[in-house]
Each structure stands twice: as C-alpha cells, then as structure tokens.
Amino acid sequence: MSDTLVLRPGTRADAPAIATTIAAAFLQYRGKLIPESSAFRETPDAITAELENGGGAIVAERNGQMLACVLTQPMEGDLYFGRLAVLPEARGLGLAKRLIAAVEDEARARGLPGVRLGVRIALEANQRLFNSLGYREISREAHPGFNHPTSINMRKAL
C-alpha cells in the first residue's frame, strides 16, 4: 500500500468510518461545550441519509485508514461544511486546511459563489483558523433554549 495521503469523496460505504472519525475528533469537546455538540449524536444511518439527500463528504485517508473528514451540503446558494474532524493522532499534518481547500474546490466546480460554516463562540482557535483562511462572520445565533448567541456563522466568497 502507498503511504500517500488521499483526499476523495466520501460514499455511503464510508458512513460508519465517518461517524467514528467525527466521534473521536470531537471527543476533546465532550463536557466543554454548552450545549453539548450534536456531533456526538452522529450515526452511520444519519450520515448515509444525508449523503442520499444531496449532502456530501470528503475524506482524507492513508493506507485505507480514515484520518479526517468533512460533511457538506448546499445552503442558501453556497456550499456549507460542518463536522470538520481530524483524528487526534493525525493533527498537525495540515489536514483541516486541506479538507477546507477541497470543499472550496468543490464549491467552485459547482459554480457556487461561496462557502459557509458554523463555529461555536467558545472555540476561539477554530475561529482564528477560519479567519486566517478568509472566512468572515456573517451572523450569530443561539442554540434552542439559549437567550444569547452560542454560534457564529461564517462565509468566504470565492
């Protein structure tokens, strides 16, 4: 097997590995985000349904092992990405940036004018990463049951 990192579209067959990757990557946020991240409720069936209903996925793998992934879906004329997940043992390899670039390439290939994402207000390092890549805040919103913003919506024009 090649030791080359491969980025490719995720398929329905990848749904179990995508769910496992998301759970492992988001574990660092367990008990630290209020409300708790809905990433902990991701299931292979939910991911499969999303892929069957117009959503997409991009996975990064080496030697057949998934190291990172991101989910995408059309939103308000742009391409939205969420669940950007990199396994702890694969951090520091630039995978998040490579996956974001792949999402942007996909949006361009579709002729879409921009890419959107949501990030928790509490995750300042993630906000800095997205800002460094050209994403800008477009709004804030509160999760259900909260009377103050808990999430920032960001967009990058392509």
pLDDT, tens digit, 9 for 90 and up, residues 92-111: 999 999 999 999 999 999 99
Q: How many CB atoms lie within 10 A of CB 55?
A: 17
Q: Give the model's confidence band at 31: pLDDT under 50 very low, under 70 low, under 90 confident, else very high.
A: confident
Q: Which domain holds residue 79?
A: 5-157
Q: Give the model's confidence band at 129: pLDDT under 50 very low, under 70 low, under 90 confident, else very high.
A: very high
pLDDT value at residue 32: 85
The torsion defined by the Cα of 81, 130, 156 and 101, in degrees rounded to 10, comes to: -60
72, pLDDT greater than 80: yes
Which CATH number fits the domain that encloses residue 95? 3.40.630.30
- Going by DSSP bridges, is the β-strand pair 56-62/78-86 parallel, antiparallel, or unpaired? unpaired
**Helices 44-52 and 15-26: angle between axes, nearest 10 degrees:** 120
Q: Read off the pTM.
A: 0.94
28 vs 94: CA distance, rounded Å: 18
Number of domains in the chain: 1
Report residue 25 as tokens: 């990557």
pLDDT value at residue 22: 97
Average model confidence (pLDDT) for the chain?
95
